[in-house]
Chains A and B, each alone.
Chain A
Amino acid sequence: MTSINTISDKNGVSDEERDLLRRSVRDYLADIWPADKAVERINDTQALATLWPALAQQGLSSLGCDDAGVGLREIVLVFEELGRAAAPAPLLGAIAANLALSGLASNAAQVLLDDLHHGKAAFALALGAFDGDAAAGAATVRDDGLHGTLAFVEGIETATHILVFTASPSGVAVVTRDASGLTVTATPGLAVPPYSQVTFEGTPALRFDMAGERLDDVAQIARLACAARALGSAQRAFDLAVEHVKVRKQFGQFVGQFQAIQHKLANGLINLDGARLAIDHSAKAYDEGNRDWRIFAASAVAFAGPALRATAVETQRALGAIGYAEEHEAPRHFRRVHADLVRFGGTPRARAQLADFLLGAVS
């Protein structure tokens, strides 16, 4: 009799060990990136620069490596905790680099990864033609180096390198932050720190050939990671709203006794749990080598978009004006949830992927 609970995990990580990992990452982030300092620190480049070496010391910089001993389930869990702490660590670039480069028989790649794992290097990620957002741009490789303009690049503030996916030839290019022919423009908006636009004009780059299918998979993992980070953010703000309505009184009773509020928050829990179950399921399928993991990931992302955004809105409404001040924790999560859930094509792209699977692609 096969038990649902004991269907084994490829990497042999048990539920208890995952809980332990979650707790230790949460405690550590609370220590180095405390909620009451997060708003001021997020615009402080020096403070930002301390975050990555600290996480690297905890071993989080090797997530996604073949020999890291953990799988995608653990990766998405760490992203959830980053969202919860609103900690802008450049983990997206790190897992993409580890997933793409760790199997290569290349000394140059090995040196880059060693620096990454020791916290000496940090990667900003530009998926280019693999991004999923039609306005993200693309980079092309020519004899004199890399060309093109790429939008919506996160983590450039503390990056030592930019990891760029290219379609023709299919592969990844690694550009150092101080390379010639590289222009970076901050593009402020909902995301904090802001995204950047990156322009390459004959920029020298280290190139690695790689199959497009593999790059597609890394991009899909980046989408899942963003959904997980948004989930952590949405959950944290939601938890604050739940605590708030248990103590705040209006009209002589706790706000949380009003059925209108109870049902709003019940919907929030459905959305949060639904997103978490689906993200975990797709990550588990990936770890087990189930090729349907891509479909499960698209389902998770397609659901998470509207569900978590609605939850973030209802969270703000339950908190009222108390949660509308930027120094309250809720607004940073509201920003993060919305920014992460439209990234890399968001829900429309995920639904399109499901439609391609079920109805056939449209030329």
Chain B
Amino acid sequence: MATLPAYDLGPAASAFRADVRDWLARHWTAERRAEHRRKPFKDRGWDVAFSELMGRDGWIGIGWPRRFGGQERSPAEQIAFITEMANAGAPTQAHSTGESIVAQALFKHGTKDQQDEWLSAIRSGRRPFALGYSEPEAGSDLAALRARAVRDGDDWVVNGQKLWSTGADKAEYIWLAVRTDPEVKKQAGISVLIVDLKSPGITIRPSLALYGKTFSAQFYDNVRVPARNMIGVVNTGWTVIADALAAERVMIGVKRIADIERVFDQLTEYVRTAVVGGKALRENPVIRDRIGMLAADIEIARQFQMRNSRLVEQGRTPTHEAAMGKVFSSELQERFAQTALDILGTGGVLSEDAETAPVGAMEQVLRHSIMGMIGGGTSEIQRNVIAQRGLGLPR
């Protein structure tokens, strides 16, 4: 009896994994976990104090180039790192958007001054970011966005509305996509601004999403943003966003898969030991078949992830390959949760805060899985990318 074999990452990454485990054992202690657990569910996963601790010890930006203060860790080592953090349930969301999206765009499109100003702050864990992309009329068709920025002296003046921004009610800054030229083809008139969420004129309205945490609408009413906060050349924001997304898409899957592995281990541990109606659950052939199915699917999700990482190492940007990984792992998360409910019965719909839940968090995994299939490009959009970029089918 065992858990799934660990990722097959080679000796350097395995050694690095041991370092990460050691650090976690010393800093993500039982007391700290218990304290985190006492927070309301909606606030779990976001812990600026823990992000600062990680930043102090150099654990933010481990994959960044050395010239930006990173460790230039290989994709294999990054997979080991993210997997260990997720398996331990360590809260990394406060710094993850800055680390894996904003920073990636800054490497390529930021000026020297901008890199100096933002990267070390992100790396310290003290500067949580949110993303301001979607709008009422711009979801999957992001390029249709309308939030307007008009130049006025040394500032840009922003007016408009954004939706569904995770963490915007907790973050200090937002990575905001705005329209700077309404007269040209929609992709050609977009720019990106870094906006201080405490600026006058911003109203943030959080609402509870299905998975039990918040996302926020924001209203921008003549918000003044210093011109030096524009990232990249004016009206080239579409490229800035695409580059940030491409980099993000590869590594974001690692955490999703690690999260699935974590709850899969909890589920198999339960099945191994539970006795229901006088019978050992693990002997039920239907349950054995479904556990086998999930184990195989997790291996497939890992292999898609490994391919993406190999492509990055070769200096290529995975497009349809990244889309395949995202579709597969996000839909696997949903399949996992549905299977868990079948195995656990009504006990599976109890939340992790219910003392009598047979295994915690299963219903939360189910609710969370919907976000995986919607956020960061829906499964439908990903399939369009696979068909058109991967198979060359006509648009």
- Using a CB–CB distance below 8 Å, which chain A residues touch chain B? 1-5, 7, 242, 245-246, 254, 256-257, 259, 261-263, 265-267, 269-270, 273-274, 277-278, 281, 285, 290, 292, 295-296, 298-300, 302-303, 348, 350-355, 357-360, 362
- Given A303-B296, A360-B282: A348 and B271 within 8 A (CB)? no
Chain A CB within 8 A of B8 CB: yes
User: Which residue on B lies nearest to A361, using beta carbons?
Assistant: B1
A-B contact pairs, 14 of them (CB 8 A): A2-B77, A4-B76, A4-B313, A5-B310, A7-B10, A242-B392, A266-B384, A269-B386, A269-B390, A273-B321, A285-B8, A296-B299, A302-B292, A351-B293
By the criterion CB–CB under 8 Å, are A4 and B10 in contact? yes
By the criterion CB–CB under 8 Å, are B8 and A292 in contact? yes
Task: Give me the 9 closest cross-chain CB pairs, A-B, nearest first.
Answer: A351-B292, A262-B387, A2-B12, A302-B296, A355-B288, A299-B299, A277-B303, A266-B386, A354-B292
By the criterion CB–CB under 8 Å, are A4 and B393 in contact? no
Partner of A355, one of B9, B291, B328: B291
Partner of A352, one of B292, B304, B328, B395: B292
Query: Which residues of B (368-395) have their CB < 8 Å from a CB of A?
Result: 380, 382-384, 386-388, 390-395
By the criterion CB–CB under 8 Å, are B304 and A273 in contact? yes
By the criterion CB–CB under 8 Å, are B309 and A4 in contact? yes
By the criterion CB–CB under 8 Å, are A351 and B393 in contact? no
**CA A201 – CA B334 in complex, angstroms?**
54
By the criterion CB–CB under 8 Å, are B10 and A262 in contact? no
- Given A1-B77, A285-B8: A299 and B391 within 8 A (CB)? no
- Given A281-B8, A359-B288: A4 and B296 within 8 A (CB)? no
Partner of A348, one of B268, B289, B313: B289
Q: Nearest Cβ in chain B — how far from A244, in angstroms?
A: 11
Q: Nearest Cβ in chain B — how far from A248, in angstroms?
A: 11
- Given A263-B387, A266-B386, A358-B291: A1 and B74 within 8 A (CB)? yes
Partner of B327, one of A3, A270, A298, A360: A270
**CA A278 – CA B298 in complex, angstroms?**
11
Max chain B C-beta neighbours (<10 A), residue from A254, A277, A350: A277
Interface size of B by CB at 8 A reads 58
By the criterion CB–CB under 8 Å, are B306 and A277 in contact? yes
Q: Nearest Cβ in chain B — how far from A267, in angstroms?
A: 7
By the criterion CB–CB under 8 Å, are B296 and A350 in contact? yes
Chain A CB within 8 A of B38 CB: no
Q: Nearest Cβ in chain A — how far from B386, in angstroms?
A: 4
By the criterion CB–CB under 8 Å, are B324 and A263 in contact? no
Partner of B289, one of A265, A290, A352: A352
By the criterion CB–CB under 8 Å, are B306 and A359 in contact? no
By the criterion CB–CB under 8 Å, are B324 and A360 in contact? no
Residues of B within 8 A of A295 (CB): 4-5
By the criterion CB–CB under 8 Å, are B296 and A358 in contact? no
Q: Nearest Cβ in chain B — how far from A261, in angstroms?
A: 8
Chain A CB within 8 A of B204 CB: no
By the criterion CB–CB under 8 Å, are B394 and A257 in contact? yes
Partner of A262, one of B11, B307, B383: B383
By the criterion CB–CB under 8 Å, are A351 and B386 in contact? no
By the criterion CB–CB under 8 Å, are A256 and B394 in contact? yes
Residues of A within 8 A of B75 (CB): 4
User: Which residue on B lies nearest to A291, using beta carbons?
Assistant: B5
By the criterion CB–CB under 8 Å, are A256 and B380 in contact? no
By the criterion CB–CB under 8 Å, are A242 and B393 in contact? yes
**CA A359 – CA B282 in complex, angstroms?**
6
By the criterion CB–CB under 8 Å, are A360 and B390 in contact? no
Contact flags B27-56 to A (C-beta < 8 A → 1, else 0): 000000000000000000000000000000
Residues of B within 8 A of A350 (CB): 292, 296
Q: Nearest Cβ in chain A — how far from B127, in angstroms?
A: 28
By the criterion CB–CB under 8 Å, are A302 and B5 in contact? no
Residues of B within 8 A of A357 (CB): 1-2, 295
Residues of B within 8 A of A298 (CB): 292, 296
Apart from A266-B384, A292-B5, A355-B295, what 15 extra A-B contacts exist at CB < 8 Å? A1-B72, A1-B73, A2-B9, A3-B313, A4-B74, A256-B387, A256-B393, A259-B384, A266-B382, A281-B303, A281-B306, A290-B8, A299-B295, A303-B299, A355-B289
By the criterion CB–CB under 8 Å, are A355 and B300 in contact? no
By the criterion CB–CB under 8 Å, are A246 and B307 in contact? no
Residues of B within 8 A of A5 (CB): 310, 313-314
